[in-house]
Amino acid sequence: MGFIVKCVLILLVFSFIVYVMKAITRLSAHLRATVKDVKHIRSQGGSRQARVSADMVRCISCGAFVSASDAVTLSSRNRAQVFCSHECLNAHAKSA
């Protein structure tokens, strides 16, 4: 009788260990998936930032590329002229 109880106990302990191992495996897989998700989100954010920085305009006076938010835009008649700075705008206005 004691032998059977010992066998059942060993089986229970063994199945518990297997259960814990499976749980750890599942948890690490879940963590890896989470890390992958975070990296994916970060890469998406990075590409979005790259797209924003790719939104560059060229100064028609000196040819320098500036971001659209920093550019000085001069709308004359029906066309817009983009400059990197007010100095370039003035230089272009003098030369024109």
Per rule CB under 5 A, count of chain residues that contact Zn ion: 6
In this structure, the strands spanning 72-76 and 79-83 are antiparallel
Work out how close the CB of 79 gets to Zn ion at its nearest, in angstroms, rounded to a whole number. 17
Question: Which member of 57, 59, 71, 89 binds Zn ion (CB under 5 A)?
Answer: 59
52: nearest Cα among 67, 74, 65, 70: 67
73-92 binders of Zn ion (CB under 5 A)? 84, 88
- Inter-residue contact 72 to 83 (CB < 8 Å): yes
Contact pick of 10, 38, 50, 62 for Zn ion (by CB under 5 A) = 62
The contact mask relative to Zn ion for 16-55 (x = CB under 5 A, - = no) is ----------------------------------------
